Structure 1
């Protein structure tokens, strides 16, 4: 009763924001486009459900342009965004510190560290004054707008200064130290925050935590941004390009291109990644068909997977978790999705039909165990008593022919005789 009366008075006499749920975003890896997407989605959900956003920071840093976009999103957010370096013994260096200092409430667990904000390009620290002064000015301005220590903003960029939780609180870099999330929410209840340039009292009536889980495309980008995964993809692409150069096999070229393009997905804005996946999937399926299924359906299979992932990513992020983001004119988006699905299913049915027809004409067992019916080019003059070499699928084979074949003519494999092919001429 007493709490209810106090709450009513607070709402009447102060500009208050009553939090009924908290949307949690875990930033526990390198900050990239997927991080921006998660933060934007969490802010949208919190706005529509009278909630707040809690960013759990445990990161070595990330991309500068994405970080600045996240800071701008937080500054313009209609809901409170709380930054918290957590769990204990974590760190939020570089981009993590930028984000923490731009949140409406900045908090740290007891044994955590922030700092080391000098920008890096290609592994080398940037000392160019234009870039440094721009970042210093922006971080100082953002920090001071929340009543925090602007000097630290300068020193963490120019001198890579680091601070522990106790020192950060003493120097007014952060607002609170909390041992866990529940402790944090208790300590910030009733706090005044600057929300869209208006002092607002934060009233937390519930501690319902809802995690903003990464979407399919965000998870893919996160995975591709891992340095180990990136190195493996680059190495495989190089090996496949070398194999394609030595053998001339089209499947090796296509596979190398696939890996190179996929490795670039980590730099795409997440909103465009779904479209890129759909386009690439369609291109791979068509390439496989045009190659006469030379890769035995492997390329088309990868294309189909990319198509499916791309179409799934077109749905609102929380569709499959049962918490749909309310969008104006949602029926129009639904109609567009249904049309896309219908087109996709029609295209996929057409591809499957063509594959079935192709395999009926050329049984898989025959295609995989022999080269019967495969076309190639004669490298030498070939006759019944004068064997020569032909090039099939980018590889050289010794061959004979009942009918004379001149060098450079198109040939078709009639049968395999041991390690030799029997061919027939097609055209010269």
Structure 2
């Protein structure tokens, strides 16, 4: 039997051999070269890249979505945020909210104008210049950020000068902070210059041109980024897991509604539904659908920069269309409603961004549809009014009946499917056709309808019986 000291010595020698072998294996593994066919996707970054896609006008809902995405990236410690952008422009206040969120983020923010055919015009150009890394896909364009009036016209006078100078100062600050071509960025505002992806890269407005998100992440890997109040950061994006962050369902739904054209359509359909309900009470469905459309339309108007004068003119148009049914105006009220509708659509939004103006063709189409509907309903109402009344007292006047008894001067006649007490100014024999000329309470005033007579339906009552009725 082995002694205790010998057994301990043997265990220590075995343990040392295992440790030596493990160290040798670790050294071999550490010194082993990576396979030559390894791709960046196989060697992944431990930190994810958060991705958000914005396709549409920049307004409070899209600004909220981008700000939430950047905040989420800061919380999870993401390697970068990629905002895939395609926008014709948007609200100035919402654009400022987005640029502030980008500049204040701890995570590097990459704005990528994509896919091919996309644009970052007007407000989108400001967001692109605010990015830590500005990128575009081939076939995209950016720029054209000159402020204009609500209908695309140049803003004249001191107001136009102030708006232009403010926008120019903002874009100079953003471009200078990220080392981009300040002079060219300013010209995109003051002279409405627009650039393709290749032109923007060549002239120092953007940093990268990439075909898609994977190639973009490989292209910016290792790039140094300077964030405000932080040390220089090095991007580690090659092979990183992309976490796609979508809009919430309610955000997507409200973002669709919060569009200048959709808002006007909702307002118009809402007024149309209420108009039909008021002119045809009891249909219920047009009234309910119209109320829902109006509520959604008012929500959209609460998000967009609305002119109260435009809203007032649209409501006036509805009032004039309804008044046409109650006032004989020979079409003047309808014409006034059409003019108010067109002016209201043109003045509905107060913003210098052309992406938020309403297409004149849409306004004319909606106005023409309203005028056509009012005209059709008005013609139908006139036709109904001209028709002979078939019920009540008015429905009896002019009806032809048959005397069931002699009218001398009172008796009974059968008219309108009923037996009536009647009185005539001249004697009328039983079986004679009579015409109702007036209704006096429960008694009819009649006169002979023709010289011919016919046998009465049912028994003929005697004059004595009639007088006792």
Change (3 A) 1:110 1:222: same
2: distance between equivalents of 1:151 and 1:171? Answer: 10
Structure 2 CA distance for partners of 1:110 and 1:139, relative to 1, 3 Å: same
Determine if contact 2:90/2:122 at 8 Å carries over to the other structure.
Answer: yes
Q: How many residues align structurally?
A: 263
Whether the 8 Å CA contact 1:106–1:175 is kept in 2: the answer is yes
SS of the residue aligned with 1:89? coil
| Matching residue of 2:270 | 237
Counterparts of 1:9-408 in structure 2, within 5 Å, are 20-51=47-78, 52-127=80-155, 128-198=160-230, 199-204=232-237, 206-226=239-259, 229-247=262-280, 251=284, 255-266=289-300, 268=302
Check conservation: 1:93, 1:116, Cα contact below 8 A.
yes
- The CA deviation at 1:229 is 3.4
Task: Tell me what 1:382 maps to.
Answer: none
Q: CA deviation at 1:93?
A: 1.1
In structure 2, the partner of 1:396 is none
What TM-score does the superposition give when structure 1 sets the normalisation length? 0.56
Deviation at 1:35, TM superposition (A): 1.2
Partner deviation per Cα, 1:190-230 (whole Å, 9 max, x = no partner):
11112224322222364211211111221112221345533
What SS does the aligned partner of 1:190 have?
Answer: coil
CA-CA distance at 1:246 after TM superposition = 2.5
Go from structure 1 to structure 2 and tell me whether the alpha carbon gap of 1:3 and 1:103 turns closer, same or farther (over 3 Å shift). Answer: farther
Deviation at 1:255, TM superposition (A): 4.4
Distance 1:188 1:245 in 2: 62
**1:74/1:125 CA distance change after superposition, 3 Å:** farther
Work out the CA distance in 1 between the residues paired with 2:238 and 2:85: 24
Displacement of 1:133: 0.9
| Secondary structure of 1:124 counterpart | coil
Contact 2:137 2:211 in 1 (8 A): yes
Q: Which residue of 1 aligns with 2:418?
A: none
The CA RMSD measured in Å over matched residues stands at 3.0
Q: Distance in 2 between matches of 1:2 and 1:67?
A: 51
Normalised by the length of structure 2, the TM-score is: 0.51
Cα displacement (A) at 1:167: 1.5
Q: In 2, Cα distance between the equivalents of 1:152 and 1:235?
A: 43
In the superposition, relative to structure 1, how do residues 190 and 57 fare at CA in structure 2: closer, same or farther (>3 Å)?
same
Q: Deviations over 1:123-178 (max 9, x none)?
A: 23453111111111011101110111111221111111011122211211101111
Kept in 2, the 8 Å contact 1:33–1:268? The answer is no
Shift of 1:386: 5.7
Tell me the CA shift for residue 80 of structure 1.
Answer: 0.9
- Cα 1:115–1:214 change in 2 (3 A) is same
Rounded Cα–Cα distance in structure 1 between residues aligned with 2:239 and 2:74: 16
Contact 1:26 1:56 in 2 (8 A): yes
Q: What secondary structure, in the 3-state scheme, does the structure 2 residue paired with 1:264 have?
A: helix
CA positional deviation for 1:243: 2.2
Measured in 1, the distance between the counterparts of 2:227 and 2:111 equals: 14
Deviations 1:275-307 (A, max 9, x none): xxxxxxxxxxxxxxxxxxxxxxxxxxxxxxxxx
CA 1:30/1:246 → structure 2, altered by over 3 Å: closer, same or farther? same
Unaligned runs of 5+ in 2: 1-29, 34-44, 305-391, 396-469
Shift of 1:247: 4.1
Contact 2:109-2:132 at 8 Å conserved across structures: yes
* The 10-residue stretch of structure 1 (180-189 or 227-236) with the greater mean CA deviation from structure 2: 227-236
Q: Over residues 97-123 of structure 1, what are the superposed CA-to-partner deviations in whole Å (9 max), with x where a residue is unaligned? A: 111111110011122211111234422
Greater C-alpha radius of gyration: 2
Change (3 A) 1:19 1:101: farther
Task: Name structure 1 gaps, 5 residues minimum.
Answer: 5-17, 271-384, 389-428
SS at match of 1:195: coil
